[in-house]
Amino acid sequence: MIIKTARKRRQAVLAGLCALGLAVSLSGCGGDSSSDQPTGGQAEFSFLGMPENTTVGSVLSTVAAGPCASTVADYPLKSSSQPQASYDQQLQLLAGQNALPSLIFAANTPSLAIELHDGGYLVDIDQALAEVGAAGAILPAAESVLRSLYGGDLFTLPAEFNIEGIWYNKQILADHGIGLPATWDELTAANQKLADAGVQPFSVAGSGGDGWNVTRLVGNYIFRSLGADALSQVADGKAKLTDPGYVAAAEAVSAWGQAGYFGPAPTAVDYATAMNTFLTGQAAFYYMGSWALASFNDPAQNQIGADNIGFLSFPNVSGGKGSADQVPANAGMPLALSTAGYGDGAKAWLSCLAQNYGTVALRDMGQITGFRVNDPVADLPALTTEVQDIIANAPSSVLWFEALFSAQATTTAQTNGGLLAEGSISGAEFMDAVQADLG
Amino acid sequence: MRQVLGDRKTIAVLLAPALICYSLIMLAPMIWSLGYTFFTGNPIRGFSFAGLANFDTLLHDPKTGQALAFTVKYAVTVTVGQVVLGYLLALLYVFHLKRSSGLVRTLVFFPVVLPTVAVSLLFQKLFAIVPQDGPVNSVLQLFGAESVNWFGSGAKAFLVIALMDIWRSMGFYGVLLYAGLVDIPDDVIESARLDGAGGWRLARAVVLPLSSPVLISALIFSINGTLKVFDSIYALTGGGPGSLTSPLTLHMYRTAFAYGDYGYGATIALTLTICCLLVTVAVFRGSRKDLLA
């Protein structure tokens, strides 16, 4: 009896120790509740970039070695990178551990950036700029785009400021006697004329997530036909993508796909291949943002010549409420400062970037940004100057198809874009799929 | 030794380190993940209790149904391909090539050691249509056929995925089953031959029953591995075009980490775990019936 009792006691102690060990390990996994609120400040200035974007890293290195050498010397730049395809996952992981670097790209999906800001992980930029004496460093047009993209708040920095539209090969259009199309119908007629002549009318990327290149056409058709607020009405639940006006936009793009205007296999074409197709003269039109100027102005990539490329604002849709004056604009991949890394070093860097980023990016990289250019840059390529003029004279701007959608709807739209361009799915099927994710 | 292993305290001391490690590394995350199925949210916006809402979503989510159907189709196709071709290879090694099979075994096994991403890139190039035709389309053109966009439809993309994964792993199953076949005593084979059995009859009546234990193991390995496929499809098609080649694992990954819904992601993971469990139990039960018959 005594032996049995002692054995039971030993078993109970052993079980208790096991349970305690498990509980300690689980509580260790759970993290310290006192560190839930992000606060911070680091001796170094850490930056999480993307291998796909070399511009920001180059500009940061240039300003650190040049104009800001003395002010940021105590806070050395420490760069790392994460591929764009998994960037959002990395941000979520780091935010969950309150370990976001000082400077980050503000997520591929605007809804995630808003979530990070609402969670207190990102610094309010307007307050921060005022604090370092740099209020007004962001151009009003860029600030307007950022605020409309992120629910009215300003917590991002416009490392790019792009307009989007249709770039065309002047020589191909001249060779086939095609004037600049002013409406979607005229553009369709031009496409048909080119296709009949054996020329691929449009170069698009539709492989995997690169299908955004196709959904841009859908979005702009909607803006031109239903008006500039048509997609914000969808985001607000006042309209559905399955409504006839919206479906018509997707059907118009699907019809182009069925007619073969996007080439034989859009689902197999990635971003670089689509760019290369246009820059080697194998397609007449190419929808893209002005960030492509870096490639257009690079003779090694551009075999048709920069002078041979023209810019066409997305055409009107006959009888539509929108106007070609409403230029699709975006801030590319905006930057954001994390609260976890916001201390004296980040403030010194912010002050430096506010003063110099716009000038250095334009001078060294040919990149138009949303920062004020404090030192005029001479001898810019003609195409870059043309884009600057369009930005300066645009009366208003519109966002893009998925800008206000959830991450799930964005993925669905972009991964199905290629199928739409191939004509494999109808416009109605495409809109059904995206609307299902919007709820 | 019997005295030592008869002492429960000794057993506990010997087992405890491994048991605690296993519990911490395997069981704790599984229980943790199971807990997530009753919550919604992510580390950024926090978690809130959702009751059975994730299970309700699971039942009504067409994407999960589509991913489950694709997973089952993939698992059945690739398992049959891997095990049947692996078995045929094993028969070739044992009965035809015999002692000179070493080189062939090494060559067929070689794709197993290649990184999955490298194999996926290889197959992307093999089946490419732009910017240039890959070797497969070049061969088609040689015979007067038109180039095919292999990744432009779900059916054709599935064909390439299945072909790639069968090619990549049949060498492994060939070696696994070879190990089972060489264990069959020579005298049993010889006596069967003396009794007049040969070719197909020898394989069906003697070799197949005697190699069934290792065959069942291969089947369980294969079905569980293919139900959990992720890396090869992610690298080859990314689940596309659209989501036509998305298995449950990719759907789970995107739901949890791209869409920030850890709770629903964990619910999909639980579904996959149950699928693996059910299939394993079914294979075991089926094999027992077979042995008893």
Domain boundaries of chain A, sorted by first residue: 45-135+332-369, 163-329+398-438
Residue in A412, A415, A434 to test binding to B, most B beta-carbons within 10 Å: A415
Which 3 state secondary structure label does DSSP give A202?
strand
Q: Is A422 on the interface with B (CB under 8 A)?
A: yes
> What's the pLDDT score for residue B290?
54
Q: Is A276 on the interface with B (CB under 8 A)?
A: yes
B279-291 residue pLDDT tens: 989 888 877 655 5
Are B241 and A14 in contact (CB < 8 Å)? Answer: no
Strand boundaries in B45-153, DSSP class E: 46-49
A300-359 residue pLDDT tens: 999 999 999 999 999 999 999 999 889 999 988 999 999 999 999 999 999 999 999 999
CA B184 from centroid of its chain's CA atoms: 27
Q: What angle do CA B82, B85, B88 make, to 5 degrees?
A: 145
pLDDT band for position A26 (50/70/90)? very low
Q: What is the ipTM of this complex?
A: 0.85
B147-178 residue pLDDT tens: 999 999 999 999 999 999 999 999 999 999 99
Q: Which residue of A has its CA nearest to B251?
A: A408
pLDDT band for position A31 (50/70/90)? very low
Token match 């070493």: residue?
B102
Residues A14 and B17 sit within 8 Å (Cβ to Cβ): no
- Bigger pLDDT: A21 or A134? A134
A189-203 residue pLDDT tens: 999 999 999 999 999
A244-299 residue pLDDT tens: 999 999 999 999 999 999 998 999 999 999 999 999 999 999 999 998 998 999 99
Residues of B in contact with A276 (CB under 8 A): 131
Interval A47-62 mean pLDDT: 90
Total count of residues recorded for chain B: 293
Among left, alpha and beta (phi > 0; psi -120 to 50; other), residue A344 is alpha
**Interchain CB contacts (distance < 8 Å): A and B:** 110
Q: Is A9 on the interface with B (CB under 8 A)?
A: no
Are A22 and B149 in contact (CB < 8 Å)? Answer: no
Q: Which of residues 126-145 of B touch A (CB under 8 A)?
A: 128-131
Are A265 and B259 in contact (CB < 8 Å)? Answer: no
- Bigger pLDDT: A34 or A435? A435
CA distance A202 to A231: 25
Residues B97 and B178 sit within 8 Å (Cβ to Cβ): no
Q: What angle do CA A151, A154, A159 make, to 5 degrees?
A: 115
> What's the pLDDT score for residue B222?
95
CA dihedral over A148, A149, A151, A156, signed as positive or negative: negative
- Token code pair at residue A336: 């954001």
Q: Which residue of A has its CA nearest to B62?
A: A436
Indicate the angle between helix axes B28-36 and A2-30, nearest 10 degrees: 60
> What's the pLDDT score for residue B196?
86
Are A436 and B62 in contact (CB < 8 Å)? Answer: yes
Among A10-24, A176-190, A194-208, B4-18, name the one with the lowest average pLDDT.
A10-24
> What's the pLDDT score for residue A25?
40
Q: Is B65 on the interface with A (CB under 8 A)?
A: no
Q: Per CATH, which fold does A45-135+332-369 belong to?
A: D-Maltodextrin-Binding Protein; domain 2 (3.40.190)
Indicate the angle between helix axes B262-292 and B53-60, nearest 10 degrees: 70
> B242 CA to chain A: closest CA distance, Å?
4
B159 closest CA partner among B219, B222, B265, B245: B245
Contacts of A74 (CB under 8 A, 6+ apart): A43, A345, A348
CA distance A346 to A355: 14
> What's the pLDDT score for residue A96?
87
Are A119 and B259 in contact (CB < 8 Å)? Answer: no
> Global pTM?
0.85
Residues A257 and A418 sit within 8 Å (Cβ to Cβ): no
Are B44 and A121 in contact (CB < 8 Å)? Answer: yes
DSSP A43: S
Q: Is A103 on the interface with B (CB under 8 A)?
A: no
Token match 């920030």: residue?
B260
> What's the pLDDT score for residue A374?
87
Interval A217-225 mean pLDDT: 98
Which 3 state secondary structure label does DSSP give A168?
strand
Q: Is B147 on the interface with A (CB under 8 A)?
A: yes
Q: Which residue of B has its CA nearest to A107?
A: B258
Residues of chain B with pLDDT below 50 are 292-293
Nearest by CB to A265, from B42, B129, B254: name it.
B129
Nearest by CB to B260, from A92, A118, A209: name it.
A92
Peptide bond into B131 cis (omega under 30): yes
Q: Is B45 on the interface with A (CB under 8 A)?
A: yes
Residues of A in contact with B67 (CB under 8 A): none
pLDDT band for position A38 (50/70/90)? very low
Q: Is B151 on the interface with A (CB under 8 A)?
A: yes
Q: Which residue of B has its CA nearest to A11?
A: B9
Are B260 and A14 in contact (CB < 8 Å)? Answer: no
Are A268 and B240 in contact (CB < 8 Å)? Answer: no
Residue-by-residue DSSP string for A339-400: GGG-SHHHHHHHHHHHHHHHHHHHHHH----SB--SS---S--HHHHHHHHHHHH-SEEE--
Q: Which residue of B has its CA nearest to A208?
A: B240
Q: Is A73 on the interface with B (CB under 8 A)?
A: no
Are A407 and B258 in contact (CB < 8 Å)? Answer: yes
A370-427 residue pLDDT tens: 999 988 888 889 999 999 899 888 888 899 999 999 999 999 999 999 999 999 999 9
CATH class held by domain A163-329+398-438: alpha beta
Q: Which of residues 248-267 of B touch A (CB under 8 A)?
A: 254, 257-260
Beta bridge partners of A169: A309
- Is CATH 1.10.3720.10 correct for B53-292? yes
Q: Is B152 on the interface with A (CB under 8 A)?
A: yes
Which 3 state secondary structure label does DSSP give A4?
helix
> B287 CA to chain A: closest CA distance, Å?
37
Residue-by-residue DSSP string for B98-118: GGGGHHHHHHHHHHHHS-HHH
Q: Report the percent of chain A where pLDDT is more than 70.
A: 90
Are B258 and A89 in contact (CB < 8 Å)? Answer: yes
Are A14 and B131 in contact (CB < 8 Å)? Answer: no
